[in-house]
Amino acid sequence: MFLTITVLAACLLLPEVESFAITAEGSINVTVGDTANFTVKPSAAVKNGNWDFKGKNIGLWIGSSPSISNEYTPRAEILTPNGSLVLKSVTSSDSGDYTVTMVPEVGEQASKTITLHVLEPVSKPTVTANATNPVEFNDTVALTCIASGTAVSYQWLEENSTITPNDRIALSDDNSSLTISGVLRSDGGFTCYAFNTINGMTSDPYHLNVSYGPDGPKISINPDLSIYPAGREVTFTCSVDSNPPAAMEWFHHETSLQQKGRELIIASISLNQSGTYTFIGITNNASGSFDLKINYGPEAVTVEPPGPSHLELGQSLTLRCSAQSVPSAAYRWSNGNGLLDSGQTYNIESTKESPGGNYTCEAYNNITRHTKSATIEVTIEEKAIKSETLSAGAIAGIVIAILAVPVIGGTAWFVKKKLSRGKGGSQQNNSKLASSGSGPAASSNGTNPENTKTSETDVVYSQPNINPLYAASPPALIDSNKTAYAELKFT
């Protein structure tokens, strides 16, 4: 009885033996190419053990001597005495469950499974679209982000700002696709950010090639001046908001210049190149215009009426000056005495104080700062005195009178001679001859023949002494109002 109680007491005093156990993490994450460390901690000393993967033996150890199977010899290593496994240069195919089994020095064997996740880094994603040339407002575009890697997640950004769904934009369940309804020309610069627990990568910006326009065509000129003098180089540039870019053709006054492109260069503008320049889209309806006004001159300065001009005292003359000029020229008049007046016309009043001479019109362009002039000669004469002109009959009478005087004189002399030869003639006849004039004839001594008796009846006559103004020829016809005179002197 005493012995039985003693054995029972001894059994109660012996320590309880614990079961054998292996401690380790349930899973590990390793990037492709890196080393996976399967660390284990047995609860007691181990005599031997082994590692398996998907039914294949990786290696085993007994005591402190490990042995690796041929398939894993380059990459696997078993660390003793605890039996941890090292697997180098893992690949995605190495992912899975790894099981270690250990036999302790005392107790029953135990096993532990560790799951390896071989993570593939995210590659740089690319973005593709289902429509390459969508039309603004009309088309819907779906963008898809593609990236390789393990457990990849996606995020969309526009101009570096995170996109959230709205009435035009929708995202797929995994965020890998972005759908845009009614695309706009402003839609663009989309990027996709792909990431996992290892890394993250961002795609290049994706710009939608949205067709639109043409909108707001306009034209500009360089240099942008308020005035354009002739000879200046100018460059016209047309701008149209359009995609694809509009093909343009240039026109001047609706006449094609046979030049295409956004620019039109005129090396040296001239007066005939003023006017409206227009560009018209060849592939669309875009158009724009610009009015070019060229400053020019003055050229071809003229004065009307053209000289020389002759004025009589009391007459007036209005001179008018003109020139080809843009803008219109300013005019100044001058003569030898200096500046006379300004304006396009100048009036000359012919007085004794108004000298004749050269009158000059000077045309000036205040933009080009050029000056040109024209000169006209004006002469001022005194008014001619008007006189009467003898009629043809009067002139003929004077000529006849002049020619008749010698005939009358000769006849009188002949009668006297006859009477002196024959004194027996009738006194009555002599008296008749003596009184043939319109009044009593005067004697040669100045006495009245009626009071003086002569011994011999004689003829007393008067001989005209003609002193003509024109001895050689009758007077020429001069002015219709000038009177010509012939003087007759009787002695």
487 is a domain residue: yes
pTM of full prediction above 0.75: no
Per-residue pLDDT, averaged over 129-156, amounts to 94
Last residue of a domain, one of 148, 178, 202: 202
Among the listed residues 266, 267, 263, 208, the one whose alpha carbon sits nearest the alpha carbon of residue 240: 263
Note whether 175 and 264 are same-domain residues.
no
Q: Give yes or no for residue 408 having a pLDDT over 70.
A: no
Note whether 232 and 247 are same-domain residues.
yes
Cβ atoms of 432 and 419 closer than 8 Å: no
Note whether 392 and 487 are same-domain residues.
yes
As a whole number, the mean pLDDT across the chain is 78
Pairing mode, if any, of strands 84-87 and 27-31?
unpaired
Q: What is the pLDDT of residue 396?
A: 59
**Domain count for the chain:** 5
Give 296's pLDDT tier (boundaries 50, 70, 90).
confident
Note whether 401 and 490 are same-domain residues.
yes
Note whether 168 and 80 are same-domain residues.
no
Which domain range does residue 136 map to?
A: 126-202
Note whether 392 and 491 are same-domain residues.
yes
Q: How many CB atoms lie within 10 A of CB 480?
A: 9
165 versus 455: the higher-pLDDT residue is 165
141 is a domain residue: yes
Cis omega before residue 223 (within 30°)? yes
Give 477's pLDDT tier (boundaries 50, 70, 90).
very low
Note whether 463 and 489 are same-domain residues.
yes
Pairing mode, if any, of strands 84-87 and 96-104?
unpaired
Among the listed residues 463, 489, 490, the one whose alpha carbon sits nearest the alpha carbon of residue 409: 463
26-70 confidence digits (pLDDT tens): 999 999 999 999 999 999 999 999 999 999 999 999 999 999 999
Note whether 412 and 464 are same-domain residues.
yes
Note whether 26 and 87 are same-domain residues.
yes
Note whether 78 and 178 are same-domain residues.
no
Q: What is the pLDDT of residue 289?
A: 77
Last residue of a domain, one of 243, 273, 292: 292
What CATH number is associated with residue 152? 2.60.40.10
Q: What is the pLDDT of residue 311?
A: 81
Alpha helix ranges (H) inside 422-448: 427-434
Note whether 398 and 487 are same-domain residues.
yes
42 is a domain residue: yes
Q: What is the pLDDT of residue 460?
A: 44
3 versus 233: the higher-pLDDT residue is 233
Per-residue pLDDT, averaged over 11-22, amounts to 67
Note whether 488 and 398 are same-domain residues.
yes
Q: CA-to-CA distance for 230 and 431, rounded, in angstroms?
A: 107
Per-residue pLDDT, averaged over 378-403, amounts to 60
Last residue of a domain, one of 119, 153, 185: 119
Q: Give yes or no for residue 7 having a pLDDT over 80.
A: no
Amino acid (1-letter code) at residue 306 = P
Percent of the residues in the chain that have a pLDDT greater than 90, as a whole number: 44
> Burial level of 393, CB count in 10 A (0-12/13-18/19+)?
exposed
64-77 confidence digits (pLDDT tens): 999 999 999 999 99
71 is a domain residue: yes
Q: Give yes or no for residue 339 having a pLDDT over 80.
A: yes
Q: How far is CA 404 from the centre of its chain?
A: 98
What string of H, E and C letters represents the secondary structure of 393-428?
A: HHHHHHHHHHHHHHHHHHHHHHHHHHHHHCCCCCHH
Q: Report in angstroms the alpha-carbon separations of 90 from 33, 69, 101.
A: 5, 17, 22
Give 335's pLDDT tier (boundaries 50, 70, 90).
confident
* Paired strand residues for 362: 332, 373
Q: CA-to-CA distance for 464 and 472, rounded, in angstroms?
A: 19
446 is a domain residue: no
378 versus 171: the higher-pLDDT residue is 171
463 is a domain residue: yes
447 is a domain residue: no
286 is a domain residue: yes
